[in-house]
Structure 1
Amino acid sequence: MSTPHKPAVITDVAKLAGVSHQTVSRVLNKHPSVSEHTRKKVLDAIQQLDYRPNLTARSLVTRKTSTIGVVSCGGTQYGPSQMVYGIELAARDAGYHVIITSITELTRDQISEAIHHLMNQQVEGIILITPLIVQLGDIKDLLPNVPYVLIDAPWGIDLPTVMIDQVSGARKITRHVLDRGHKQVAFLSGPLHWSDARGRLEGFQQEMQQDGLDPSQVIEADWSAEGGFVAAQKLLKQKDKFTALVAANDQMALGAIRAFKDAGLKVPEDISVVGFDDIPEAAYFDPPLTTIRQNFSLLGKRGVNHLIERLHEPNTDISQSVIQTQLVQRQSVKILNGAQHSD
């Protein structure tokens, strides 16, 4: 009976590469003082021996785990789920592992429990995805000695934050509709305890008021296609007429399009509809949906980079990094009154 193959250790790698074990350690830690020739010899030896570093032992020596914790709230929704994915990719590229814990509400108790769980995993820093309105003082109290970054937090807070400019995005999509001659425009809002929903509503109101138009035809739903369907039916029963609907996300836009179809109305011939998010299916709606694209990949990358900066230099100035959105024009908006624009 053959003896099991003994896993290679760092001294085996050093012997095969013809270097000291300290040099192997420097290569593993990506130290800049190692020449490319030596680095290649060590990496070749690692591959040949199928050497796997003992991360637990390493972390005990260095007190570093190369692990980032993520507290995710609202992860069943498209935006937060894409944020988590963007963070995972960016962390992997930066040489960090990610541990994710999900909570249902941004309450002090749930945030505290999530942070406690992550700290038990010895994470070096924490990223909090905070799409709901939250008492930000709670976060300051709960994370006094741990580097952290917030993602998707409200504008203007004095905490390290990376965010997408929801107000500007909503203004862009509303301006697109107004420039095509629409004066009576309804707004289908997400749940207003979400900071993104409030930002998008604010952007819609600002752009309407800029043209002296009434922004009061607003109805709140729950981000889902079903919610959009029910809300659009309610809008159709109101006495105020509208020629266009700005939906605060693509799923609600999809539900609204179905409600209009059931009522015998065509999009965009009778009612124009636009969305927000540019989910992968938006290009295949009937008609293809004009919407706003958010750069979740860049959001994740900036969030991770900002956290790593704070890991290396804890006294880094608090800052807010703001990412702009992109208008995606398709075929869901009709031109009225001779406006000189087209999708």
Structure 2
Amino acid sequence: MRKVRAMSEKSPKEQRVRLIDVADAANVTKSVVSRVLSGDPTLAVRDETRDRILALAADLAYEPHAGAKALAGSRSKALALLIPDLTTPVYARIARGAYQRARERGYVVLLAEDREDSQSQSDYTDLVSAGRVDGLLIASSREGHPLLADGRLRTVPHVFVNRTVPDSGRNVSINQSSASANAYRFLFERGHRKIGHISGTDTLSPAVERERGFDQAASDLGAEKPMVVRDDFLESGGYRSAELLMREHPGITALYAGTFSQSVGALKALRDLGIRVPEDVSVLSNDDLPLANYLVPSLSAMAMPLDELGRLAVDTLVDQLEGKAVADVVLEHDAVAVERGSTARARPSP
């Protein structure tokens, strides 16, 4: 006699067909159903039974739960995204794109903060070797990082996101040089000639690439080389940098900050110094975020495809897991400035 487990008293929309429901309908165990649906080639079962299970799963509209899929089969169907700072809004945009694409491709994404003072920096590869995740999306690759130093990454599927590690052949990045060159031209077209650049430390590839593009655009236009200060990619770093630039170069009429967080710090520093934005000094940020509309003044920023970068990183890693060749991928994007209240034409020279 075939046994059918009773379904809970819910509306059809609320009901979710479970693995046990398919097993009861087919009069087999949950394990057999799971192995049939996952295509396990080692399972010894009659073709008639296999066909019956597949047909019943289709008739019942069975769909594996994301968490269950992550625990089933030889793969975890989970990826780990390592970011340097959970408080940085830019990484939220990258993570959102990664989550969306991972779900479309049948994976889940686990988020990990990879701070310099972390006790578990060198343990992330163990997540893969233990079968808890299938690969790593690494948005943190500072110089001397344990993941790069101990050599264990050689045996782990991974890609670098929004960071470039020379000769790795696994970099998924945006053309930062092109974007910052467009940022310089935007300010130049508005009459700015003395421009300060708030950058990150020269051990971080995005900062280096942005500086290169910004300086090259100035050179191409025959303009004065931008004044550069390097500090942390944080509000505090932007505050200190803006303060230093305005103290040492009071003729500056525009600031370009490498990150949104630095821009927020720069706005605060200028306000504390009694410098009006944009009447005295314009401020342009590298990353555009919804929050930019709600600052005072609203912040002009370069629109960057951060969501798309997250999706592309997942595609590149999953393709690697499926046996495709690994290569660097650069997301070419003609970054444009979203002009708001923090930029204006340069003030006339005294």
Match of 1:71 in 2: 82
Task: Tell me which of 308, 319, 325 is aligned to 1:298.
Answer: 308
Task: Tell me which of 14, 21, 33 is aligned to 2:26.
Answer: 14
Task: Tell me which of 88, 91, 106 is aligned to 2:99.
Answer: 88
> Secondary structure at 2:182's aligned position in 1?
helix
CA distance in 2, matches of 1:211, 1:55: 55
Question: Are the counterparts in 1 of residues 179 and 213 from structure 2 also a CA contact under 8 Å?
Answer: yes
Question: Are the counterparts in 2 of residues 153 and 195 from structure 1 also a CA contact under 8 Å?
Answer: yes
> Secondary structure at 1:143's aligned position in 2?
helix
Shift of 1:274: 0.6
Match of 1:104 in 2: 115
CA distance in 1, matches of 2:68, 2:211: 51
Task: Tell me which of 270, 280, 292 is aligned to 1:270.
Answer: 280
CA distance in 1, matches of 2:241, 2:202: 15
* Identity within the alignment, %: 22
> Secondary structure at 2:60's aligned position in 1?
helix
Match of 1:148 in 2: 158
CA distance in 1, matches of 2:172, 2:306: 11
CA distance in 1, matches of 2:202, 2:85: 14
Shift of 1:88: 2.1
Question: Are the counterparts in 1 of residues 275 and 281 from structure 2 also a CA contact under 8 Å?
Answer: yes
Q: Does 1:256 find its partner at 2:269?
A: no
Shift of 1:126: 2.3
Match of 2:197 in 1: 187
Matches within 5 A, 1:273-292: 273-292=283-302
Amino acid of the residue matched to residue 111 of structure 2? I
> Secondary structure at 1:318's aligned position in 2?
coil
Shift of 1:5: 7.4
> Secondary structure at 2:109's aligned position in 1?
strand
Matches within 5 A, 1:46-65: 58-59=72-73, 63-65=74-76
> Secondary structure at 1:326's aligned position in 2?
coil
Normalising by structure 2, report the TM-score: 0.76
Task: Tell me which of 315, 332, 338 is aligned to 2:342.
Answer: 332
Match of 2:138 in 1: 128
Change (3 A) 1:39 1:140: farther
In the alignment of these two chains, the number of paired residues is: 318
CA distance in 2, matches of 1:174, 1:275: 11
Shift of 1:176: 0.2
Question: Are the counterparts in 1 of residues 175 and 330 from structure 2 also a CA contact under 8 Å?
Answer: no
> Secondary structure at 2:24's aligned position in 1?
helix
Match of 1:45 in 2: 60
Question: Are the counterparts in 1 of residues 201 and 232 from structure 2 also a CA contact under 8 Å?
Answer: yes
CA distance in 2, matches of 1:23, 1:295: 42
Normalising by structure 1, report the TM-score: 0.77
CA distance in 2, matches of 1:75, 1:52: 24
Q: Per-residue CA shift, 1:285-311, capped at 9, x if unaligned?
A: 222221112222211211111112111
CA distance in 2, matches of 1:302, 1:147: 15
Q: Per-residue CA shift, 1:243-263, capped at 9, x if unaligned?
A: 111111222222222332333
C-alpha RMSD of the superposition: 3.7
Match of 1:319 in 2: 328
Q: Does 1:199 find its partner at 2:209?
A: yes
Q: Per-residue CA shift, 1:78-128, capped at 9, x if unaligned?
A: 333432332222211211122333321399x95532111343244222222
Match of 2:253 in 1: 243
Q: Per-residue CA shift, 1:21-56, capped at 9, x if unaligned?
A: 988866566xxxxxxxx97862452559x9999658
Any stretches of 5+ residues in structure 1 without a counterpart?
A: 30-37, 339-343
Between 1:304-313 and 1:129-138, the stretch displaced more is 129-138
